[in-house]
Amino acid sequence: MVLKCEGIGQSVRIAASDRILGIDPGLRITGYAVIEARQRRPNVCEAGFISSPGRDEKAALALRLVNLHHSLRGIIEQFRPTVVAIEELYAHYQHPRTAILMGHARGVILLAAAEASIPVVSYSATRIKKTITGNGRAPKDQMQRSMQRELCLAKMPEPPDVADALAIALCHFFPAQPTGFIMITCMTGNLNRVLAEEVRLQVGALEYQVLIPEFVRRQLQNKLGEEITLFTSEFLEGNPMQGRMVPRLIGFTSEAELEFFELFCTVDKVGIRKAIKALVRPVRDIADAIQRQDCKWLTTLPGIGPSSAEQIVATLRRKVTKFALMVTPEASTAEAPSAGAQAAQVFEEAYEALVSVGHTPVEARNLIDKVIASGKSFDSVQDVLLEIYQKPK
């Protein structure tokens, strides 16, 4: 019986100090990664995978579990980790057998840790991905690229199980994500400032910086000094190798907009920052274009080229129907809109008109900002366009 245990990383001759063993459980391939803290930075001691003998489909379950147990005991004895981090077991109603089989592997991992008197912590797959990439639904190749970049590896971790194990270990390492961490999901406060890519929200004695996409910015630019509510998501930005990870908030005016944003981020090679930059049009319009498979329209969004547009359509076209049918807040209420809401609607329509005649989203935004800064009131889109295009005498 041959146990296959292949690794990548630096020399294993490192003095043991607060080492974390991250494990991505599996019966055919189990990824593992050992990291330790060096001057508050994660250092890779070893990362690799354990595979069953010959990957024989007919190999007995008991034999695979024995192999996994023996290999894990060897890794634990060699590196002496102080904690084992493992992904929580997830059961999908369409694949119950997979969850049962993963339960066998997970039980063996817990046994090996218990035999060495090592505590075990568990993290959900969504939390691990969100901690590392800011996207709770990040695909495997995005996780691999993130691990290569964040840990300064010479090559991308292969197979993906190795990258997953590294991510699990890092999820436990980051002090910004302690056990019991509660995400801010909704904020209500006074709108102090509206900047190019963010707003400043006063909540009690604290002022929060909240990133916003352009279409949200246009909804808020006439509400300075008013009390608003933002539905938020959080992600970490920075380089852990430099010891600086900054938590960021992203805000939206409705839960549906936030849900669409997180769905948009699941597209391959679309990260948090790219998604924020791209969402310059209302969610309903973007969802409608995706549903119609209108790649040409999607390429008008900043940072979205032909290949990205095709990938967005292929990934999301069956998932955006409810967003394409979204009703705007103005249309959903029977009450007459306030003066502020009317002005916001006029500027929104003026923005759409500017983009339709050839202005880039950034140019259109700057033109609208200049009009707003004039302090004048406008009753119609025509009035706004006349103000923009009138020539000085």
Which tokens go with 265? 């981020």
Please report how many Cα atoms fall inside a 13 Å half-sphere around the Cα of residue 348, on the Cβ side: 21
Annotated active-site residue 198? The verdict is no
Which segments of the chain does DSSP mark as H helices, in order? 61-79, 96-115, 125-133, 140-150, 160-173, 214-220, 255-264, 272-278, 283-291, 295-298, 306-316, 321-324, 329-332, 339-356, 361-373, 381-389
Annotated catalytic residue 379: no
The C-alpha atoms of residue 248 and residue 268 are separated, in whole angstroms, by: 22
Q: Clarify whether 87 is annotated catalytic.
A: yes
DSSP 390: P
DSSP calls for 291-335 = HTT-HHHHTTSTT--HHHHHHHHHHHTTT-HHHHTPPPHHHH-SS
Give the pair of three-digit tokens for residue 98. Answer: 């997979």
Write down the catalytic residue from 36, 150, 161, 198: 161
Residue 11: exposure state from Cβ atoms within 10 A (0-12, 13-18, ≥19): exposed
Active-site residue, from 87, 198, 214, 257: 87
- Residues known to be catalytic: 24, 87, 161
